[in-house]
Structures are given as structure tokens and as C-alpha cells.
A and B are shown apart, each in its own frame.
Chain A
Amino acid sequence: MMAYQKSYEEINEKIKRGEAVVVTAEEVIGIVEEKGVAQAAREIDVVTTGTFGPMCSSGAFINFGHSKPRIKMKKVWLNGVEAYSGIAAVDAYIGAGQLPENDPENKVFPGRFTYGGGHVIHDLVARKEIRLEAIAYGTDCYPNKQVDTVITLDDINEAFIFNPRNAYQNYNCAINLGDRTLYTYMGILKPRIGNASYSTSGQLSPLLNDPHYRTIGIGTKIFLGGGVGYVAWNGTQHHPNVLRGDNGVPMVTAGTLAVIGDLKQMDPNWLVGLSYIGYGATMAVGIGIPIPILDEEMLLYTAVKDEDIYCPIVDFYEGYPYSKPIDLGFANFKELKSGRIDINGKSVVTTSQSSYPRARQIAAILKEWIKKGDFELTRPVAPLPSADANIDFKSIPERKTNGNGFSGRNRRD
């Protein structure tokens, strides 16, 4: 008997007619248990996923429009937070992790990091007034040397999110083997394995539901920050050729996505500035990806359960910061979500950084969009490198500069 198959076109036809059967990555689990894989694969057209958590590698490109006279911005600040302006005259990129010029950082440890680029993006989307300051050296074509004004998202030409690394496929569970409290991007880690911090939406997470990137690829249309976005590329540190379980799900950090989307149609509920004490500022990003049930294999992937997902336990006292290999085994996502896991015979309380209720909401919103016929599925225009890739995970080499020959200024003499 030939295995049942559905095409993108057939699924989109059903979406257009308002007849598509769409379920979330949580709901699909029960349906498969009840009806079996063969029948469920015939009935279900789309499974929606979701994740909402801190994603530091995020930011937005902005074109401010010109001042009168025109300006070629050398440096630009939004609410005192610098945006990168080494591109065209009034273009800039505001990064989620950027801090205000005068931030006290960790000078009094642990620092508070009350405001940063992620908060600026949140305030922009919330249509709040933002102070725009820029300086320039002045040219014949761009004479203006200074701008100091107030803008809102509606005053600028384009603003689009471009996040170089989001939606990490699996993530470390962080603990602290040391004897002092650690303040990390995984939150506060209490000494002597006082807690275990994790950050993924598990069975709802986009890339854990399509572990080999069969349907999620370049061009895939997604829920991004409450609006519509697209997968632009594989994310930075995309490392698909790693240890995987029998179900194909990576057991360590693996794939990542670079995503893009129009900030102007997004929602401040789904792009939220965060402050991690002792670490810095960042932003929680909401992402949801629909997965077409092309065949039984795709259905099986989307039916993955929390208990089938494992992540490595990593020490953040020495193991992570100094890249010391310390084998602490794996944590199971169902146990992490229960509030306690067992590490070396000790029952350890778990701390979540990624919002499971919000991930669930995103999957539900995306499901409604598709059911209403507002959101069709996209066949990737090119695939992401997958488990058969041969990607090396590189570090910065340590080499001597020998003092000269590397200055761009010298080369132009």
C-alpha cells in the first residue's frame, strides 16, 4: 500500500476553502494516540507550533527618513540606546542586547540592566514616543550634523525585525556546581546545584516538531512577534549534525533560524524587553511555525512528546564559561516541566525561562489564522542544512598580530 501523501497545493486549497484541519503541536499528540498515525495523517492538514522566550540575537533595521537638511548618521541613539549606523545615511540596526551609553552595567554587581535595545523595540511597537538622537560629520550631500527629536513607529519609513538567531532547536539545562550564586542569561543559578534552569517550549517548539527541517526552510511563512514573518536563512550557530535521539530529535543545541518580518504590523505583547540581573538586557520573541502534514513521517515528527525530548545538563560555574567538558547527563523535558528533576540522586527545583503558556497561545493564534483562511503555507525555496551537513563549530583562534599590517588606515595610505 502506498503511503498517504498531501501536497502544499492541496493543503493550501483546503485552507482557502476554510476546510483545513489545523491542530496545535500539543493537540496532535492525543489525536495520534486515539486514532493512530495512518488515520490522523489523512485527517490533519497542519500542525501549529509556538515558542516565546529570551532570544538575544534579535534586532530591527530602521530607516528614519531624512532630516532637513539631510544627514549621514555617524552615530544614532534611540532612548539613549545606540543603534548601529555604519550603513546608508539614515538606516540603522537596533540590537536587542544593546545597553544605554551610561548604563552602570555590572559595576555594582549584579547589575540591573533595566533598559536596552529589546525595550526600545517593544516601546516602538507599542507606538510609544522615542527620543531619536544622531550625530554626523557633515558632507556636501549630507550637511546636517545633529538630530535630536521625538519619533514614533508611524514616523519612520521602514522598520523590520531581522533576528540572526532565533528558535533554538533544543537548549541546555543550566546548573551551578560552584559555591556562589551565578547571574547568567539562564537567570539566577543558586550554588551547589540549587536549581536547574531551562529554556524551550519542548513539544510545542517549532524545530523540535520538524527535527530534520523537512518543511521549515528558507522562505517559510511564520508567526513573528504577533505579525507575519519569514524564515530568511539558517540562524547563526546552526549546527544540525549533532547527537540525536532515535526519534531524530537533537539531544543538544542544534538548528537555529534567522527570521525577518515587518515590525509595523507586530504587537508589543509578542516582543518584550527583558532585564536579566547581572547579565544584561534582551528581548522575548514570539515565534510560531505551521507544519504541513505532507505524510505520516511529518505527522510522527509533530506528535513528539515532552517525555521524548532530552537536553544536556550544563554547569555554568566552570563548564560553560570556560568550555570545560563536564558530563552531567541529560534532563527530560517532561520532568523539567514538572518542577523538579533528579541530578546525581539529588532532587533539584527547576526554573523556566521560556514561557510555555505564551507558546501555547501562539500555536492557538496561528491555528486560528490558518483555519480562517488568512494564512497559507509556503514550500521552502531552499532547505536548511540538515543532519547530514558537515558543519564545524568554530571558536575564535588565538594568533599573534605582530603589531602591524592589520590597520585599514595604513592600507589606504
Chain B
Amino acid sequence: MKNKLVCYFSAAQSEQPIVYRLIKNYDLIINILKADINPQKEGYLVIEVEGERDKYEEGVGFLKSLGVIVDPLSETIIWDEAICIQCGACASFCPTEALVIERDSMLVSFENSKCVVCGMCLDCCPTRAIKLHFEIKEAV
């Protein structure tokens, strides 16, 4: 199985080689998507975790046993209207019509509730006005 997780940790936990243990002891494939540690050494780690189901669950259990708070990752697409030049290149790639062109004005609009975060629009936007946003809580 494969999942994206946000791990929130405190200073004591950030001293430990958490990713190494997940790989070495639980045979998991870890892809670090984003990480941020503040000067007090508190922070979060966004990881994609892939492996056998029981190993995956044991690995997550290991994180929790250390006191790391583990949440499923919530991703959203952000469309920055100020950067968008209204070329319309994104709309034909959007499978759910979250990004659409109103044909009279030829203006692009984005409806977040229709978005399934497939990420196709990220590649085809030449101004990079569309960004993937990881929802991260304040560091614990």
C-alpha cells in the first residue's frame, strides 16, 4: 500500500533518525515531499510511504510510539489568479472541470470543490500559477 502522511514532531523526536528506521526496520519506501524544522527543532515531515500493508502499519505504529503525530496528508490545488495570464492551457487537461473556460469571455476559473488533486494542471501551466498545497498545521 501507499499513502502520503504528515508527521509532526517535537525537538526530542527530531533528533532521531526516523526515516532511516522506517526504511531499515520496516522495509518501507519513503519519499520525502516536504520538510520543515524550526530553530527550536520542532517541525513536520511530509512523506509518501509505500510497502507491505502489515509493515506499513507497524511503521506507522513505530512513529506513534515515539510520540510523533501522524496524520493523513490533505492536499489542495491553489490557483493564483494574480499570476495566471488566462491562456487557458490548463482547462483541457482538467478531468473534473474544476478548471474551466467560460467560452464568451474565454476566462479561466477554478472551483475547488470539483478538484480531485490529480495534478495534471501543475505540469501544463506555463506561468506556474497553479500550485499544490500541503495542508500543514502549526508545528506541535
Contacts and interface: CB of A to CB of B under 8 A. Distances in A.
A274 B107 CA distance: 19
B interface SS class: loop
Nearest to A281: B126
B86 A274 contact: no
Interface in A78-122: 110, 114
A165 B88 CA distance: 23
Given A114-B128, A188-B123, A277-B124, A355 B92 contact: no
B86 A54 contact: no
A378 interface: no
A351 B92 contact: yes
A195 B94 CA distance: 12
Contacts of A236: none
Contacts of A272: 85, 127
A interface SS class: strand
A195 B88 CA distance: 13
A356 interface: yes
Contacts of A284: 85, 87, 126-127
Contact of A349 (B92, B106, B126, B128): B92
A357 B107 contact: yes
B119 to A, nearest CB: 12
A141 B107 CA distance: 56
Contact of B93 (A52, A110, A188, A355): A188
Interface string B88-123: 110111000000010101110000000000000001
B88 A352 contact: yes
A226 interface: no
Given A275-B126, A276-B126, A277-B124, A337 B89 contact: no
Interface residues of B, number: 18
B76 to A, nearest CB: 21
Contacts of B103: 337-339
A281 to B, nearest CB: 9
B123 to A, nearest CB: 5
A302 B127 CA distance: 31
Contacts of A273: 127
A358 interface: yes
A38 B128 CA distance: 47
Given A114-B128, A284-B85, A354-B87, A337 B106 contact: yes
Nearest to A357: B86
Interface string A154-198: 000000000000000000000000000000000110000001010
B100 to A, nearest CB: 9
A358 B85 contact: yes
18 contacts: A187-B89, A197-B89, A272-B85, A275-B126, A275-B128, A277-B124, A339-B92, A339-B101, A350-B92, A351-B88, A351-B89, A351-B91, A352-B89, A355-B88, A356-B106, A357-B107, A358-B85, A360-B106
Interface of B: 85-89, 91-93, 101, 103, 105-107, 123-124, 126-128
Interface of A: 52-54, 110, 114, 187-188, 195, 197, 272-277, 282, 284, 337-339, 349-358, 360
Given A339-B91, A357-B105, 15 more contacts: A54-B126, A195-B93, A276-B126, A277-B123, A277-B124, A284-B127, A337-B103, A337-B106, A339-B92, A339-B103, A351-B88, A351-B124, A353-B87, A357-B86, A357-B106
